[in-house]
Structure 1
């Protein structure tokens, strides 16, 4: 769709969400069912209604430090960042599932009486509706809109926003979203977003990345005693049943284990088949996982500032500023 009209406050804009089932099916085929090596469950499968509910609980776990440290970073440095954001800017939040982390920044902008247009992206419609409604009702000078769709949908949509075509665009990648991959793919993905930053318009990207090297702290943040993270992971495969139209995933057929990388500071979850799992999905897509086959899920990389600087250079981005969280885990960078 072309965004050639003015949207109303708290409006949810369908940028591809109504085609989500088709999109998720394509993601599953390309990244999980087709590859013979390094099969990956697309993270978008985790963000259905149940997954969004669990994610809110995970973000409030005592040992899940990432959310706490990001909030602390924006509370500590929020005014410096808010002062850099010009009036009438468009803030595009790439993943607004829990807005507690961005609210300190939005609140500062609102108190400064800066007219801002905030666009929050999410694949879960119910979560997006709730989030945008809450933000719109609590902010006076900031207009809030929901973008229902995927990252790829947002890449196509944002350049078409015409009512505010002259306004600077600030892309918010909070929660270690952009940059969270092996260096090559991470740099290539950053380059896709760099390609829609417009020279001469003061477009910017505010990106946060977890940089802790404490392996115990990382491990404990994912392996909670109540098993919330495992339920969150398994929910992704349950969602894959719905998307593929066949009950191919049964919990007893798969174990979930955590793995720390030996090459990078990175934790991932792995689904490991306890037996040979074979089904034929709708449309002739074959599901065939031999016993012991592994599917990666939720890879969480930690990069130091100098490692992120290499990604930025490779993507054609220039780092302008950097802030550090009070705790030794998070960094926020503007490019």
Structure 2
């Protein structure tokens, strides 16, 4: 058993450990292999999925305001860059000398970084393949000050304490004098939230089930993907949407040389997406070493965009 575990990569270890738990769970960051990243880009264009178009509109409307708060020049560091579709709006406003996209999907990262470099030949692009949940050493030859960019409400995938830890990690990566431009989804009518995560075209369902396909592809799995369906639920007390993969029937399968069984109705918990009130957002910032400078929302308060400044680290006497 220990030899098998030593041979597994981060994905394999997380899957085996998650499937042994009760209830079963796998972290949302593992959605984003090449196919998962492509499916997520489809999700962002769906009519039900309001975050992307709303955040993009906020970036366009407040680009000059953001530039005044962050300053121009320096370098932009994007955490979880994906296709970097919103990034050009920020780059045109800030006019940095360098852009450093960080993403766990190396292939997808390289493609989007190449496209952005071609469109902005005056900006040096330094793609970094890695897990941004831990502090990352930025290239020594890139000068700050650094502007962190964390769009898309990805912060909502982390439980509140984990979100604080992540934002502290960003603070450590970016250093003193940094600013952070971050998108955060708001609490709203649960029907709107459930529709955004369970679209009529079934793209989000395919995105969720792709995690099972990835287990089969990369971990020699034998999962019958058709035996699982996409489930979404809003939990008002926790302030979050949950995504699950629910077994339609009793099923057994093999993953990474291990055998697992699930009963009908049992689920694999694959994602949380926390939604925040303005007061909760301010608490989140200050608890993690950031001071809120500005917040903007659309007319219907569907989404919020923020600029925070890194608070100087306090030294013990």
Q: Do these two structures clear the TM 0.5 threshold for a shared fold by scoring above it?
A: yes
Q: Which residue of 2 aligns with 1:134?
A: 115
Match of 1:22 in 2: 9
* Residue of structure 1 equivalent to 2:3: none
Paired residue total: 301
Moved more, 295-304 or 226-235: 295-304
Please, which of 192, 209, 223 is the counterpart of residue 184 of structure 2? 209
Q: In the alignment, is residue 260 of structure 1 matched against residue 241 of structure 2?
A: no
Aligned to 2:214: 239
Matched, 1:42 2:27: yes
Distance of aligned partners of 1:171 and 1:256 in 2 relative to their CA distance in 1, 3 Å threshold: same
1:315-334 matched pairs, under 5 angstroms: 315-334=288-307
Distance 1:47 1:308 in 2: 26
Which residue of structure 2 lines up, in the alignment, with residue 103 of structure 1? 88
Rounded Cα–Cα distance in structure 2 between residues aligned with 1:56 and 1:309: 29
Find the aligned partners of 1:241 and 1:269 in 2 and give their Cα distance.
20
The correspondence for 1:181, drawn from 158, 179, 201, is: 158
Give the corresponding residue for 2:51: 66
Distance of 2:175 and 2:240 partners within structure 1: 33
Shift of 1:88: 4.1
Cα RMSD (Å): 2.3
Structure 1 residues 286 and 318, CA, compared in 2 at 3 Å: closer, same or farther?
Answer: farther
Task: Report runs of 4+ in structure 1 exceeding 6 Å deviation.
Answer: none
Structure 2: gaps spanning 5 or more residues = 1-7, 309-317
- How far apart are the structure 2 equivalents of 1:209 and 1:83? 21
Partner of 1:318, secondary structure, is: strand
* CA distance 1:326–1:119, shift in 2 (3 Å): farther
Q: Give the distance between the partners of 1:203 and 1:148, measured in 2 at CA.
A: 22
Of 272, 285, 296, the residue aligned with 2:269 is 296
Residue by residue, what CA displacement relative to the aligned partner does 1:51-84 show, whole Å, maximum 9, x if unpaired? Answer: 2222222111122111000100100101111233
Flag structure 1 segments of 5+ consecutive residues without an equivalent.
Answer: 1-20
- DSSP 3-state at the match of 1:270: strand
Q: 2:127 matched to 1:146?
A: yes
> 2:76·2:96 contact (CA, 8 Å) conserved in 1?
no
Q: Distance in 1 between matches of 2:158 and 2:180?
A: 18
8 Å CA contact 1:270–1:294 kept in 2: the answer is yes
**Residues of 1 paired with 2:25 and 2:276: CA distance?**
21
Q: Give, in angstroms, the shift of residue 115 of structure 1.
A: 3.9
Structure 2 CA distance, aligned partners of 1:329 and 1:100?
A: 20
The 1-side partners of 2:104 and 2:165 are apart by 22
Q: Give distance in 2, aligned partners of 1:34 and 1:149.
A: 26
Please identify, of 178-187 and 291-300, the stretch whose mean Cα deviation from structure 2 is larger. 178-187
* Stretch of structure 1 that moved more, 125-134 or 83-92: 83-92
TM-score by length of 1: 0.81
Q: Which residue of 2 aligns with 1:220?
A: 195
Give TM-score scaled by structure 2 length: 0.85
Distance 2:88 2:259 in 1: 44
